[in-house]
Amino acid sequence: MSAIPVDPTSAGNGVISQPTPAASETNYINEFGGLKSWLLTGDHKRIAILYLISVTFFFFLGSLAAAMIRWELTAPAGVVLESDTYNKVFSSHGVIMVFTFLVVAIPSVFGNFFLPIMIGARDMAFPRLNLLSWYLYMAGGILILAGMINGGVDGGWTFYTPYSSMYSNSNVTLVLTGVFIIGFSSITTGINFIVTTHKMRAPGMTWFRLPLFVWAHYATAVVIILGTPVVAITLLLVVFERAFKLPIFNPELGGDPVLFQHLFWFYSHPAVYIMILPAFGIISELIANFARKRVFGYHFIAFSTLAIAGLGFLVWGHHMFISSQSMYQGIVFSLISFLVAVPSAIKVFNWTATLYKANIRLQSPMLYALGFIGLFTVGGLTGLFLGSMGTDVHLTATYFVVAHFHYVMVGGTMTAFLGGLHYWWPKMTGRLYAEGIAKANAIIVFLGFNLTFFPQFIVGWLGMPRRYHYYYLAPEYQVYNIMSTLGSGFLGIGFLLPAFYLSKSLVSGRKASANPWGAHGLEWEIPSPPPSTNFLQIPIVLDEVYDFDPVTEYEQDRAQQAIENSHEHPGMMDSHDETASKLEEGGH
Amino acid sequence: MAAIAHDTHEDHGALHHQFENIEQQNDSYIVGMWTFLVTEVMFFGALFLIYTLYRSMYQMDWYLAHEELDVKLGAFNTIVLLISSFTVAVAVRSAQRKERGLVLANIGITIACAFIFLVVKAFEYSAKFEHHLYPGPTFGSVPEHLNGANANYAQLFYGLYFGMTGLHALHIIVGIIVLSALFNLWWRKCDSVMKDYIPTELVGLYWHFVDLVWIFLFPLMYLMPKPH
């Protein structure tokens, strides 16, 4: 509880000396004008917006490839694509989605925007490094696209040697160079998150007052800085092998191609947690704020995040049960893989326990969060099938694997991304979108997703291998593939609709108040959209995180609405004007 | 960027807008640099892992292949880098004591050492190229330089030799650029280095890391014991 009594009618719960929100004229969007002010910005919020536009662009490219795959698979003998083209299309889908969307999206958009605000900082510790990370991302993304336009790349997103290093005639070198550069974009973001979380917290913002979103991004950053350099050097060695004949994984000279798989999965399994931990962070925020309760077992969720980050580095061998790995190695990797299920389950149980007897508000972000819990649970439990050596031999490289990781990556990360986008959209843009269509969209995404990927569990269990586009010897697979393609159509609608109604809100949406959801957290105590420096004065944090008081919550809501409705609050307006003019003087 | 008006925001020539005071800024820089060095350790760590695996697989051939490396030049370069580590440490100490002349002299010697290292390395590389000991189709076409090692396994050795020392040399080149930039800031008496020794300290940390990598590379590449 607060050490200093707090005025219950103030919008800033437990935060002293914040001027009144919702009355700000200059914000991070309109303070500086012109394209140059965006491309040379150091403001973490503007960089987040640059990232939001870029990752959306790459996501739609990856989705186009996915649509082509689904179309091709509707008939047992293929529909439009040659085998060679099909190989390139599914490789493009994997490379674009993994490296330019999933790894990057949530940390670089929402992490960049909200991590400094949530801990009460003016900016990231290293704003210029932050901007550099966006330029690296774009450079890498453009190289990857150049490789794909200029003939494409085959062999899948995993680039297994010796195919990628010795035999593939596609643009492996160009695409891997792009991935390598994007790796550095990840690393710079990770360093920024770690330093910012350690050194930039506002007075009173102790480690156990951090929102779980910040914990999740901190753990993600640790995984990024430990894992990404390893895959960077591994992919670089493949590039060197292709470009300079530097033999590292070449079996003809005594090199070990399976060593590539070990090094690759040493990063790429933790990379799964780079993709899903930030999503956990978003879901924790959504569950707490729409259930109007402190998250059940806050400490357990925080520590389970770190446990996942740590254990995640010890399980890579479960990708290699059939890659000449010794059986005893397999047993150990299998056992540790089961252990990862424990902290993941802790999260799911704790979110569910938070809902118990809660005052749940079923607004659109919450619908995504509830969908996430269901989909992630399915994705996580089917992971146990693949972590068991016996069942994995049957299921390896079938559509069961495809369905499993899409349940985690799309059902998990993408759903959380949409949930976060809907939750923070009013804060990022200052506009409210149409809630009705947003709710309907959450349901379309949930149903479309299940129709797309649940049949893939069945068809994979029946034995359909991934990465094949002909199945005319097993026409019984067709019905599942048609269901899946049908579902992907709905899913596509669910991804396109937000692009329209969110864009529309920019033009004709109502102005958002500082805290349209009645949520807790520092980001809701500053105006929407926030001013360039986030806080006119650095806040002093006095209350606990998610400190919802069920008794006074109703009164606080009413009091806050009163503040929002009456813009003539004399005392507060004065103090705001004063600080705003100080800001002007300082800036010019 | 707008500098914010705030009671505790100090007026300090080297302070950036996002920090409250110079201590917070310095702490952040140090934590950031060490975090970056962690990523560097992981970067080279993967290479050392590959080295360990292949050396344990092909001990005798690697021993025979390594005999072609020039231990004297390697040892000379090791001494050069150790001297440069010392001078960079003196430069950091002088920066703390704000002795500009000493800082400039010691950064200058460090840069000179870095160039000497690269020149020696260039001589070593060119000898290996003359003897066809670089990876590729012509590797081992002058068999007397293989010392009887299996040409395939020797090629793996030289692949890692060029890969690891090449990436290390790249780090030396980056080091020269960073050290020169630092020298320039001290030369022009900029506030960012004169009022705050941390930039000098950061460059020093990086340079020590680059030296440390060589301290591992030298014995691993040049000083193999004969396998039994």
Q: How far apart are CA A499 and CA A418, in angstroms?
A: 11
The band of A11, judged by pLDDT with boundaries at 50, 70 and 90, is very low
Q: How does the average pLDDT of chain A come out, rounded?
A: 89
**A187-233 pLDDT, tens digit each:** 999 999 999 999 999 999 999 999 999 999 999 999 999 999 999 99
Which of residues 505 through 544 in chain A touch B, CB cutoff 8 A? 532-533, 536-538
Q: How far apart are CA A551 and CA A557, in angstroms?
A: 11
Chains A–B, number of C-beta pairs less than 8 Å apart: 136
A144, two tokens = 């990857």
Q: How far apart are CA B222 and CA B228, in angstroms?
A: 18
Q: How far apart are CA A44 and CA A428, in angstroms?
A: 12
CATH code of the domain covering residue B63: 1.20.120.80
Torsion sign, CA atoms A143, A406, A469, A61: negative
For the full predicted model, state whether its pTM sits above 0.80.
yes
B4 pLDDT exceeds 70? no
pLDDT at B199: 94
Q: What angle do CA A517, A522, A526 make, to 5 degrees?
A: 75
Which of residues 41 through 60 in chain B touch A, CB cutoff 8 A? 42-47, 49-50, 53-54, 57-58
**B185-224 pLDDT, tens digit each:** 999 999 889 888 999 999 999 999 999 999 999 999 999 9
**A479-525 pLDDT, tens digit each:** 999 999 999 999 999 999 999 999 999 999 999 999 999 898 999 99
A122 vs B153: CB contact, 8 Å cut-off? no
Q: How far apart are CA A254 and CA B54, in angstroms?
A: 9
Long-range contacts, B170-177 (Cβ 8 Å, 24+): B171/B210, B171/B213, B172/B114, B172/B117, B172/B118, B172/B210, B173/B118, B175/B114, B175/B206, B175/B207, B175/B210, B176/B111, B176/B114, B176/B115
Domain residue limits at B141: 23-222
Which of residues 145 through 204 in chain B touch A, CB cutoff 8 A? 150, 152-153, 155-156, 159-160, 162-163
B7 found inside a domain = no
What string of H, E and C letters represents the secondary structure of B40-87? HHHHHHHHHHHHHHHHHHCHHHHHHHHCCCCHHHHHHHHHHHHHHHHH
CA of B3, closest CA in chain A: separation in Å? 5
Count CA within 13 A, CB hemisphere, residue A328: 0
A161 at B interface, C-beta within 8 A: no
Q: How far apart are CA A175 and CA A164, in angstroms?
A: 11
Q: How far apart are CA A572 and CA A576, in angstroms?
A: 6
B4 vs A124: CB contact, 8 Å cut-off? no
B16 found inside a domain = no
B66 found inside a domain = yes
B11 found inside a domain = no
A40-560 has which CATH code? 1.20.210.10
Number of domains comprising chain B: 1
B226, two tokens = 């004969």
**A288-340 pLDDT, tens digit each:** 999 988 999 999 999 999 999 999 999 999 999 998 888 999 999 999 999 99
Q: Which of A122, A194, A538 sits opposite B35 (nearest CB)?
A: A194
**A387-429 pLDDT, tens digit each:** 999 999 999 999 999 999 999 999 999 999 999 999 999 999 9
**What average pLDDT score do residues A430-435 get?**
94
Q: How far apart are CA A290 and CA A553, in angstroms?
A: 13
Q: How far apart are CA A433 and CA A502, in angstroms?
A: 6
- Burial grade of A243 (CB within 10 A; 0-12, 13-18, 19 or more): exposed
Q: Contact at 8 Å (CB) between A462 and A477?
A: yes
Task: Residue A245: list chain B partners with CB under 8 A.
Answer: 135-137
Task: Residue B8: list chain A partners with CB under 8 A.
Answer: 538
Q: What is the ipTM, given to two decimal places?
A: 0.92
A109, two tokens = 């958009």
pLDDT at A1: 32
